[in-house]
Amino acid sequence: MNGLCNGKNVSEFHCRNAFSELSIDAKKTPFQCDHEKSRKESEDESRLPVLEAAYTTVLQALGEDADRQGLLRTPLRAAKAMQFLTKGYHESVYDILNDAIFDEDHEEMVIVKNIDMFSLCEHHLVPFFGKVHIGYLPNKKVVGLSKLARIVEIYSRRLQVQERLTKQIAMAISDALQPAGVAVVIEAAHMCMVMRGVQKMNSRTVTSTMLGVFREDPKAREEFLALTKNC
């Protein structure tokens, strides 16, 4: 969707789907990628019995009979679920951005908003979830739009706090693309505030990270916030 805002052409993209210190310039061969994936799968498989035993202990500590029919396979299911919910520890931006950064003579704002995000609070191991809005000002390089959602996925599939998650996403994009600016806003509901504690059903937490032009230029920041509000 092309629009006009503050006299600038703005490319706005709606996305409802998801950098380390490693350099994007280095390329991984398909063989290397397959080998890495196989190694990670083997590691998960080897750790599964330990996680399963831990969940059995938790059930027993709660006073449950871990051998009753409804719970017989619960420790294994829970262990596999936890591995999936934290799979971001085994992934890096290097892996997903390989060959997905393109030279392009485009210097106007690019926004991908309404990216669904699910993560686990590291304090209580309960979910928090919401939407992520990302904007960047290209510096002659653009990235495949789905890769921005994948970056969100990498960092959200870890034990997190929302403040750190917001910054990690922004820094990853900045390191990978070297753009003129990056802006990330997350709005999320935290089950640690809804299901327990203060039990406030309608509370939402909003965090933002602004880098480069978005931090230095109030007009650029206001333009991004105006385009991402009321989503």
Residues with active-site annotation: 121-124, 162, 190, 192
**Exposure of 38 by Cβ count < 10 A (0-12 exposed, 13-18 middle, 19+ buried)?**
exposed
Which residues, in sequence order, are CB contacts of 204 under 8 Å at separation 6+? 130, 187, 188, 189
Q: How many CA atoms lie within 13 A of 24 on its CB side?
A: 18
In three-state secondary structure terms, 121 is strand
Q: Where are the alpha helices (DSSP H) in 98-212?
A: 145-156, 162-177, 191-194
82: exposed, middle or buried (C-beta count within 10 Å: 0-12, 13-18, 19+)? middle
